[in-house]
A and B are shown apart, each in its own frame.
Chain A
Amino acid sequence: MQQRYQISVQGRVQGVGFRPFVAVTAANLNLTGWVRNIRQSVLIEIQGEPFETQKFLQQLQSKAPALAKIEQLNHQQIDNNDQTGFHILESSGKNEGVVSISPDIGICEHCQKELFYEENRRYRYPFISCTQCGPRYSILQKLPFDRCHTTLNAFPMCEDCLAEYKNLKDRRFHAQGINCAKCGPQVSFINHKGERIAEKEAALTLAINALQAGKILAVKGLTGFHIMVDACNHQAVLRLRARKQRPEKPFALMYPQLSMVKSDCLLGEQEKLLLCSAIAPIVLLENKHSNLSLSPAIAPNNPYLGVMLAYTPLHQLICRAINKPLVVTSANRSGEPVCCDNEQALEQLSQLVDGFVMHDREIYQGLDDSIVKFVNHEPMLLRRARGYVPDYLTLDTEYPSIVALGGQLKNSIAISKGKRLYLSQYIGSLDNIASVNRHQRTQKIMSRLMGVTADCVACDLHPDYVTTQLAKKQHLPIISTQHHLAHLYAAMLEHQIIDQAFAVVWDGNGYGEDGTLWGGEFIAVTADKPQRVATFLPFKLPGGAAAIKEPRRVAVALLYEVYGKKIASNEVLKSLSPFELSTIKQLLKMISNNINSPLTSSAGRLFDGISSLLNLGQISSFEGEAAMRLEFAAKTSKDKGSYPVPVDFAVTPNIIDWRPMLAAIITDIGNHVSSAIIARRFHNSAAIIILKIAQHYGVTQILLTGGCFQNSLLIEITFALLQEQGIAVLWHKKLPANDASLCVGQIMGAYKARHSYLNKKQ
């Protein structure tokens, strides 16, 4: 007696080869029926003998494609019918539910083999892909994930591709992204004047020759343009730095194969797996300094190299021919979002590059490469974009639909729907029009793809953030969450902590409830309401934003708090400041007269100031540069010493007085103790502060969040110290510790605010 079942599968089941897998599995078990994508999930009907149908239900879970993530699987028995065969039906857009879209995927092993196998009909075709690899989210215009809803709709399949698409036995059975040299996108080479001078194989040859000759190219990849240059040509790398006006910020490298990475960098098993995974992010690896031909300008003063493998067929064709690592950096005009459109690239990049490698597959949404660092042998996301987006976080309870617009720097957007929280790709700093436009477009696309109409908008407390201004224009109720509370909430959401938490939020600056700039906060969340329990003794930032860019100004401000105006006359202290005496006097005047010198309690600024005193960083050419130098210096020392940092527990919030520490550092400098040792002692002291406050409040678990906790040494020291005392330490892994996660915390802030408002009303 036959049975018929209707099965609905939710999760990441579109664009990952799920329907073909269902069809093949059903066919192997002699089942009849059909499978179709509905807007938000996959619906299946199967009919056959009980033994086979049960087996099917098992295999649906156990043998699902590697990229699939099944979250919910419901089945119910229904009436039999007498249809024959097993069919993949046209998608239907009607049903509602929750959606999971696949991120963009690096080239799979099979496609890689075919790409370099002369007999294969896609030999050297730069856009080879299959059900297990290729573009997904970046080309998707609407749901469900069908070819006609992607930018590939411009490329009708040829007969050969169509035959593969229809053949149950073929690897590309129902591969939405299928194409070949006959019917698919093509690459072309465009010179710096914007003239198309070669296509296909000839274009590749020109590109490879140009790179070998030290030329700088813009290359359109999977989710955006890159700028590429030979990493072993020092002059060429310097030329790129000069053109991009990017003096120090490290460049990422793209390697043709793993073996080469292994010889240049320390590569653990975890790092290796991630590097070779479908996500294929940039992984920060310790530089062995064994490859002497690598340009020293790639990552100056930095023990890491940011490394990725050639993750698309086009990149493979180029990298393997060069057979050396390439500098591969997001193509944009300084500060603007990654370029993803051909026209735009010609307009914006022609001053930067000597030529373009383009293709005619439109990128609907640009995504940067993601960046991952390993801390205590676990991955920690620094930039979340290609390969991770649009994966979502699972919420503990049903949320209303809230859209959170995020912060000003490293902006991302979050949207909640039901039990899911969607997080946009890294968008960038909203200090230019292009980024603001990208931000608004991303919000629109996300709302459409996720099918969300927000009923409230969440943002930061800072009145001047672009996102705060944008929130006001949405004609929705606005709920703002204080910057550091949002950091804390983001950490809570990531670690699925629901109501009580204790966190160290150390970062640059965020607008505090008292109108000063916070950034070195201990916050406790209880059933009641969040409380700022401890903070650093505030100090001034002479010149406001100028002090954030110039750590040396912070150093003067810190010295002023300890020694007063004496620093202008004290020879020892004067020598610590990289300013002319007259400038020091003016800065002191600004501080004492309160001229554009806002107060801050920022830990990040404290790191900056110490870095300046040790002469490691005076003017930052990119965010976090000085603090990174301090971390790297500390890493080279194993010193166990620390500095006195008294905490005044009698006041609310408790005040951490860093002045005795600063005085001790000045003494150490006077005694010619090395920068490495001082930097290490400073890190040790920071961990001791955390321990002291955690113990005072008797907490058993503490969250570390905010930009300072991208510092792996700080995390590792804190973790070791607190663990010894039985205190669990949780830090970010899936979400960046920096401002990119503010939007996530803003969602929780808005949810909590609404919740308590509704409770009060009742």
Chain B
Amino acid sequence: MASASIKMAHGSGGRLSNELINELFFRAFDNPILKQANDGALLTMDSKRLAFSTDSFVVNPYFFPGGSIGDLAINGTVNDIAMCGAVPRFLSAAFILEEGLPIKHLKKIVNSMADAARAAQVQIVTGDTKVVERGAADGIFINTSGIGIIQHQQQIAPQNAQAGDVVITNGYIGDHGIAILSQREGLSFETTIESDTAALHTLVASILAASANIHVLRDPTRGGIAGTLNEIAQASQVEIRLEEYAIPMRDSVRAACDLLGLDPLIVANEGKLITIVPLADSGKVLKAMQQHPLGRESAIIGRVLNQHIGKVTLETSIGSLRVVDMPLGEQLPRIC
């Protein structure tokens, strides 16, 4: 690794995160299940196929338009399990609380967790609580882990994208990241942008019902769709070519990104998934998604090619082909 100490960018889902994971964690913990490099681990126990996943939530602010850290903590882990093609069942919840956190805030967060769990039909069955001194945490950190059952026989993995496949997403991208940023920094835009946080397992169920040939399922959280698609392009050794005009995006998010100088493709989502399916099945899948309440704005946003292997590219409105890089974490302009 190039740097001597941890930088914020090591946690951004970008190139530095990947370096940390591949060069430190994977090497130290090396085992075949870990190497699947999925959102969660796929396990077989007593001939039952399970998906197991964990996630920590450190969002600031912990209340934001469209939800709270509590919703994220449930939906995030539910989604990671759902992206393994599994039906989520049981969750754990661990809290790290900062001295001084108002109890009424904690109550509100825990209640939103309970609501989200009910909505996602999962039970929180174990937990842990730690309190740290003022300043040692930022209000509240939550970790959740979860287990789900895999009931289908499909081969779904980031390694499985193939030339000829199409790339589908279930709606407007960038909502969550921009909602959080504007709430945290007190930036107000004409319309309030709300987080898209949602549990996606029922949408996944309709996708799996629509086609028996789903190749990839991922949720583009940290690092945005640029980060997720780069991982897939690398893992599958294919090119993923996006069409700029086809990517669903709210005007308000586009305007906010313009002001902030951010590429919407690297902004985090919490209620979005990417699925990659063979062209032949794409119509069925798209239709099934559009009929689901969380997929009304679903759209085909690109296709899989074997031209520029390992890269994500974007056909721009003026017809040139731009490389969509793996976000580094901190964007520093390259132009002079």
* A→B interface (CB under 8 Å): 245, 333-336, 348, 351, 407-410, 429, 431-434, 436, 462-466, 507-511, 515, 517, 541-549, 583, 586-587, 589-590, 593, 595-596, 598, 604, 623, 707, 738-739
Contacts and interface: CB of A to CB of B under 8 A. Distances in A.
Interface string B292-336: 000000000000000010010100001111110100100111111
Contacts of B46: none
A543 B321 contact: no
The 5 A-B pairs of least Cβ separation, nearest first, read: A543-B261, A546-B261, A508-B336, A545-B333, A433-B321
B296 to A, nearest CB: 31
A235 to B, nearest CB: 22
B335 A509 contact: yes
Given A509-B336, A517-B333, A595-B260, A464 B185 contact: no
A267 B328 CA distance: 50
A409 B335 contact: yes
Contacts of A604: 336
Contact of B332 (A245, A436, A517, A590): A517
B262 interface: yes
B333 A509 contact: yes
27 contacts: A334-B318, A335-B320, A407-B336, A408-B334, A431-B322, A431-B335, A432-B323, A433-B321, A434-B320, A462-B332, A462-B334, A464-B325, A507-B336, A510-B336, A541-B333, A544-B261, A548-B333, A548-B335, A548-B336, A549-B335, A583-B259, A586-B259, A596-B331, A598-B333, A623-B335, A707-B336, A739-B336
Contacts of A466: 323
Interface residues of B, number: 26
Interface string B248-269: 0000000000111110000000
B264 to A, nearest CB: 13
Nearest to B239: A433
Contact of B319 (A333, A464, A583, A593): A333
Contacts of A598: 332-333
A546 B255 CA distance: 13
A543 B335 contact: no
Most chain A beta carbons < 10 A, residue from B187, B259, B333? B333
B101 interface: no
B174 to A, nearest CB: 14
A433 B323 contact: yes
A333 B318 contact: yes
B261 A545 contact: yes
B135 interface: no
B27 to A, nearest CB: 19
A739 B336 CA distance: 8
B186 interface: yes
B119 interface: no
B202 to A, nearest CB: 36
Contacts of B333: 509, 517, 541, 544-545, 548, 598
Given A434-B321, A589-B187, A542 B261 contact: yes
A436 B323 CA distance: 10
A707 B311 CA distance: 31
A408 B262 CA distance: 19
Most chain A beta carbons < 10 A, residue from B258, B261, B325, B334? B334
A738 B321 CA distance: 25
A587 B332 CA distance: 18
A178 B297 CA distance: 63
Contacts of B332: 462, 464, 511, 515, 517, 544, 598
B259 A543 contact: yes
A510 to B, nearest CB: 7
B313 to A, nearest CB: 6
A542 B262 CA distance: 11
Contacts of B311: 433
B181 interface: yes
A595 B336 contact: no
Contact of A589 (B186, B322, B331): B186
B185 A545 contact: no
A465 B313 contact: no
A351 B319 contact: yes
Given A463-B328, A586-B259, A623 B336 contact: yes
Given A464-B328, A510-B336, A604-B336, 20 more contacts: A334-B318, A336-B320, A407-B336, A409-B334, A433-B313, A433-B322, A436-B323, A462-B334, A463-B328, A507-B336, A508-B335, A509-B336, A511-B332, A517-B332, A545-B261, A545-B333, A546-B260, A590-B187, A623-B336, A739-B336
Contacts of A436: 323
A434 B321 CA distance: 7
A433 B261 contact: no
A547 B308 contact: no
Contact of A465 (B259, B323, B334): B334
Nearest to B307: A433
Contacts of B325: 464
Nearest to B336: A508
Given A333-B318, A431-B322, A436-B323, A546 B336 contact: no
Contacts of A245: 318
Contacts of A335: 320
Nearest to B327: A464
Given A462-B334, A590-B260, A595 B185 contact: yes
A598 B323 CA distance: 23
A546 B320 contact: no
B3 to A, nearest CB: 10
Nearest to B328: A464
Nearest to A516: B332
Interface string B177-219: 0000100011100000000000000000000000000000000
A541 B261 CA distance: 10
Nearest to B321: A433
A432 B320 contact: yes
A312 to B, nearest CB: 28
A172 B331 CA distance: 58
Given A464-B325, A547-B261, A409 B187 contact: no
A643 B318 CA distance: 44
Contacts of A351: 319
B185 A333 contact: no
Contacts of B262: 596
A541 B322 CA distance: 24
Nearest to A550: B261
Most chain A beta carbons < 10 A, residue from B185, B258, B318, B320? B320
A549 B336 CA distance: 10
Nearest to B334: A408
B8 to A, nearest CB: 12
A604 B185 CA distance: 29
Nearest to B263: A545
Nearest to A437: B308
A429 B259 CA distance: 24
Nearest to B260: A596
A333 B320 contact: yes
B273 to A, nearest CB: 27
A595 B318 contact: no
Nearest to A545: B333
Contacts of A465: 334
B320 A595 contact: no
Nearest to A590: B260
Nearest to B9: A463
Contact of B336 (A336, A348, A408, A543): A408
A293 B293 CA distance: 62
A596 B261 contact: yes
Contacts of B334: 408-409, 431, 462, 464-465, 545
A408 B321 contact: no
A508 B181 CA distance: 28
Interface in B52-102: none
Contacts of B320: 333-336, 432, 434
B35 to A, nearest CB: 23
Contacts of B335: 408-409, 429, 431, 508-509, 545, 548-549, 623
A147 B134 CA distance: 80
